[in-house]
Amino acid sequence: MGGDGTWTPFHEDVYRSYSWSANICGQKLWRLVAPNQEHLFTDSLGNTIYDLRNYDPAEFPRFTSAVQYEVVQNPGECLFVPSGWWHQVVNIGHCISINHNWANAYNLHHLVDRLQRDYRRVVHALRDVADMDGFAQHCQLVLRADSGIDHLMFVQFLAHMRRVYVGCSEDQPPPMLAAHPSSVALRQTDPHFWSKGEVGVALDRIRQAFLRLRDHDPATRSDPSLCQLIDNELRELDMWESKVQ
């Protein structure tokens, strides 16, 4: 909910997730910037433009070349924002909208990118105390406080996605889905939940995320218990593949 003229700063959705916004009343003016143009609105200190309506062109001289779109969202309309699209929204009149962020196997690589980027920033910020006892654990604590998630939570999230995809492909969704009245409709309308071929593609992307964390992420490689958890998940994926082949 927001009154006339209220607005959000220029931002990218949390962890590069997808989002949708359904407008109930009022209008919203959206300004969206296509992905992979962060270099055009980031200064030498890593700061980005805060308000697209009021920024210093001398500080961000290249932003005028960015690919941008402007959209007016009316009542009853729903807007989908893909991963990586920076945007700013201004309410026109009193507005009520419903918004939701989510992720699936097809934007997992964006989420892994953001987790690793945020972790690198934490390590850099704490570099002066890198020789302290428990430095790795402190980095995870700061990462969780700053970004809302740490490596363990992310691996648990991937494990949950793996169980949902496998369960739905076998017509045995996890209890949380099986008990929900929309479970059957979900599997009927989303091909990733009823086609073994599509589920296989999704699970392969989940596997790649697990492998990337285990083999190429210093935070994961330094934590034997986390590596073991990932190995267990990879074995579960192997078992599923052997059953469907």
Nearest CA to 93 out of 9, 8, 30, 25 is that of: 25
Share of the chain above pLDDT 90, in %: 65
Position 193 scores a pLDDT of 55
Nearest CA to 223 out of 125, 126, 154 is that of: 154
Mean pLDDT, rounded, of the chain: 87
Distance of CA 60 to the CA centre of its chain: 26
Question: Collapsing DSSP states into helix, strand and coil, what is residue 200?
Answer: helix
* Most confidently modeled range among 17-21, 30-34, 168-172, 240-244: 30-34
pLDDT at 99 > cutoff 90: yes
Q: Which domains does the chain have, with CATH numbers?
A: 14-102 (2.60.120.650), 105-244 (no CATH)
pLDDT at 203 > cutoff 60: yes
Token digits of residue 24: 């109930």
Position 170 scores a pLDDT of 57
Q: Could you tell me which residue, 240 or 20, shows the higher pLDDT?
A: 20
Token digits of residue 74: 């009316």
Token digits of residue 14: 């949390």
Instruction: Give the model's confidence band at 202: pLDDT under 50 very low, under 70 low, under 90 confident, else very high.
Output: confident
Position 245 scores a pLDDT of 62
Nearest CA to 70 out of 48, 87, 51 is that of: 87
Do 203 and 240 touch, CB atoms closer than 8 A? yes
What phi and psi, each to the nearest 5 degrees, are found at residue 106?
-85, -10
Q: Where are the alpha helices (DSSP H) in 2-71?
A: none
At 205-229, the pLDDT tens digits run 999 999 999 999 999 988 999 999 9
CB atoms near residue 49 (< 10 Å): 23
Taking CA atoms, 220 is separated from 27, 39, 72, 145, in Å, by 45, 29, 44, 18
pLDDT at 181 > cutoff 50: no
Position 182 scores a pLDDT of 46
Do 88 and 52 touch, CB atoms closer than 8 A? yes
Beta strand residue intervals within 34-163, DSSP E: 68-73, 78-81, 86-102
Taking CA atoms, 77 is separated from 11, 23, 88, in Å, by 21, 6, 17
At 154-168, the pLDDT tens digits run 999 999 888 888 876
- Whole-number CA gyration radius for the chain: 21
Distance of CA 18 to the CA centre of its chain: 7
At 32-83, the pLDDT tens digits run 999 999 999 999 888 899 999 999 999 999 999 999 999 999 999 999 999 8
